[in-house]
Amino acid sequence: MLTDGFKELLNIGIALSSVHDLDKLLDMILTEAQKLTSADSGSIYLVEGDKLIFKTSRSNTYFKRWGEKKTREIFKSFEMPITKQSIAGYVALTCQPLNIPDVQTIPQDFEFHYNPTLDKKYDYKTVSMLVIPMLNRDEKIIGVLQLINSLSGNKIVPFTDEHQKITTSFSSQAAVAIQNAKLTEDLKSAHFDTIFRLSAAAEYRDKETGNHIKRVSHYSKIIAENLGLSQQDSELIFWSSPMHDIGKLGIPDAILQKPGKLTPEERAVMEQHTVIGAMVLKDTTADVLKKSRIVALTHHEKMDGTGYPLKLKGNEIPIEGKIVALADVYDALSSKRCYKEPFSDEKVISILKEGNGNHFDEKILDVFLSSINEINTIREKYSDKEEDFDKFADFKNINILELLK
Ligand code: C2E
Ligand code: SIN
Ligand code: SIN
Ligand code: FE
Ligand code: FE
């Protein structure tokens, strides 16, 4: 039994290390911990600073009663201070597991108390509880795993010593996986944040708003998904499209911000933004930045070979370039630019259709037009507001000390 349990544990450990999405990981950890201990319910708290954040809970009783979705809506994330009065707080502070056969009989003079509020509110009876600190490799507490009501048939029984032993080993594997997932999330969000800020810096000079790049990213992802690209490829396009115009950093203000039509000479300089962008992204080893480079270089190519800078034709144009080309033009047509007002929806659609097959890939345009409701939802969500246009001028008015915080 023990041997099987620990064998099982090894497999779970390997499975856990392959999940990088934190919410999915926490859910998987709880599911496995419930299986190891025949627990009806369970929750995970994570330590953040001096607080415990209630992150995830699973309950067979509630899932049967309400389904998973509704249960999750009811048990939203909340935070609490780490104090010895609560059971989870006590475990977080002492780093010792608690195995409580019956929470209803915890003596009044104990440091920690069982809080029956949720049980009362949702008609549940917590009896046995196994609460395990999740310690990382440095023996630092990163969270608390709380299991409720071990079942033997339909009967609630206390958790056994063996449950405690196996869950303790399990929770240290879980802690490592959680730490890795958090690091991945942090790197991903830092990556996105950096891309977004750099691209926005280029766009501020352009007097476009940061919303342009958000919209183009989302439009591109919607097109990719509806074209049938894999989730991973669609996301790669989402992450690589914000930098399509990063090369505008190298275009002089007099051209970039010219209120009227560009002369042929100015236009030739402007077209260099594709090559400058690709140069900025040269020699990267990261997949997403390689894609960004391809997008920067090819988002103004046209199907009939009249685009720039390479005059590529048809399938010589990489698919991500074709997708972002359409997303970008749609956004340029439907938004205000320094050189133009937004066009009406009818005019936008008619210009796109004029480009069918000569500017845009027919299949991609087709998919785009049949996704127009999804596209419009994004357009509303990230719509430009007047104040967004003034951000660049704003630095003269801000309190510089704010930037020190
Ligand atoms: P952008 O403003 O993001 O525009 C992207 C693309 O949308 C344009 O690529 C073009 O294909 C399409 N587009 C934009 N406005 C119109 C329009 O009124 N009619 C039609 N049919 N298509 C339109 P393009 O032309 O290669 O321009 C690349 C970038 O060069 C533009 O990015 C913008 O920053 C700049 N630009 C283009 N034309 C002018 C202009 O007349 N004045 C100024 N100041 N900048 C311009
Ligand atoms: C993500 O999708 O991984 C998060 C990106 C963000 O920080 O907005
Ligand atoms: C995503 O859709 O992957 C992220 C959305 C965002 O960060 O705006
Ligand atoms: Fe461009
Ligand atoms: Fe653009």
pLDDT digits (tens, 9 = 90+) for 26-71: 999 999 999 999 999 999 999 999 999 999 889 999 999 999 999 9
- Residue 193 — pLDDT band, cuts 50, 70, 90? confident
Interval 178-196 mean pLDDT: 84
SS3 130: strand
Which ligand 1 atom minimizes the distance to the CA of 255?
Answer: 44
Catalogue the E-assigned strands of 60-186: 78-81, 98-100, 129-135, 141-152, 155-157
Residue bearing the CA closest to ligand 1, atom 6: 329
Q: Is the pLDDT of residue 169 over 70?
A: yes
Q: Is the pLDDT of residue 199 over 80?
A: no
pLDDT at 287: 87
pLDDT digits (tens, 9 = 90+) for 201-247: 776 665 555 788 889 999 999 999 999 999 899 999 998 998 899 99
Rounded Cα gap, residues 214 and 377, in angstroms: 13
**Ligand 2: which residues within 6 Å by Cβ?**
188-189, 192
Q: Which ligand is nearest to the CA of 348?
A: 1
- Residue 309 — pLDDT band, cuts 50, 70, 90? very high
pLDDT at 205: 62
- Residue 2 — pLDDT band, cuts 50, 70, 90? low
- Which position among 221, 248, 291, 322 bears the catalytic label? 248
Structure tokens at 191: 């990556």
pLDDT at 18: 79
**Does 248 qualify as catalytic in the annotation?**
yes
pLDDT digits (tens, 9 = 90+) for 89-106: 999 999 999 999 999 999
The three-state DSSP-derived secondary structure of 82-93 is CCCCCHHHHHHH
pLDDT at 8: 76
Q: Name the residue of 192, 214, 235, 288 to mutate for ligand 2: max ligand atoms within 8 A of Cβ.
A: 192
Structure tokens at 285: 């080893």
Q: Is the pLDDT of residue 306 over 80?
A: yes
Which domains does the chain possess? 2-182 (3.30.450.40), 206-404 (1.10.3210.10)
Of the ranges 66-70, 233-237, 271-275, 391-395, which one carries the lowest mean pLDDT score? 391-395
How far, in Å, is the centroid of ligand 1 from the Cα of 369? 21
Nearest to 75 by CA among 64, 62, 85, 86: 62
Nearest to 239 by CA among 211, 210, 222, 218: 218
Nearest to 359 by CA among 302, 295, 319: 302
pLDDT at 44: 96
Based on C-alpha coordinates, what's the Rg of the chain? Answer: 28
Burial (CB count <10 Å: 0-12, 13-18, 19+), residue 161: exposed
Nearest to 177 by CA among 5, 57, 18, 35: 18
Q: Is the pLDDT of residue 387 over 70?
A: no
Rounded Cα gap, residues 302 and 65, in angstroms: 56
Rounded Cα gap, residues 224 and 33, in angstroms: 38
How far, in Å, is the centroid of ligand 4 from the Cα of 295? 9
Q: Which residues, other chains included, contact 24 with Cβ-Cβ below 8 Å and sequence gap of 6+?
A: none
State the first-to-last Cα distance of the chain, in angstroms, to the nearest integer.
56
- Residue 122 — pLDDT band, cuts 50, 70, 90? very high
Count of CB atoms within 10 A of residue 231's CB?
10
How far, in Å, is the centroid of ligand 2 from the Cα of 319? 24
- Residue 389 — pLDDT band, cuts 50, 70, 90? low
Which ligand 1 atom minimizes the distance to the CA of 359?
Answer: 11
Interval 178-207 mean pLDDT: 78
Q: Which residues, other chains included, contact 9 with Cβ-Cβ below 8 Å and sequence gap of 6+?
A: 36, 166, 169, 170, 173
How far, in Å, is the centroid of ligand 3 from the Cα of 326? 19
pLDDT at 386: 60
pLDDT at 390: 53
Q: Which ligand is nearest to the CA of 238?
A: 3
Which ligand 1 atom minimizes the distance to the CA of 212?
Answer: 3
Interval 324-351 mean pLDDT: 95
Q: What is the mean pLDDT of the chain?
A: 90
Higher pLDDT pick, 154 / 400? 154
Residue bearing the CA closest to ligand 1, atom 32: 332
How far, in Å, is the centroid of ligand 1 from the Cα of 332? 7
Q: Name the residue of 182, 188, 195, 382 to mutate for ligand 2: max ligand atoms within 8 A of Cβ.
A: 188
CA angle 259, 213, 389 (to 5 degrees): 45
Residue bearing the CA closest to ligand 2, atom 8: 189
pLDDT at 375: 98
Contacts 24+ apart (CB under 8 A), 231-239: 236/287, 236/288, 236/291, 237/291, 237/295, 237/320, 237/323, 237/324, 239/191, 239/192, 239/195, 239/288, 239/291, 239/292
Q: With pLDDT > 90 as the criterion, what percentage of the chain qualifies?
A: 67
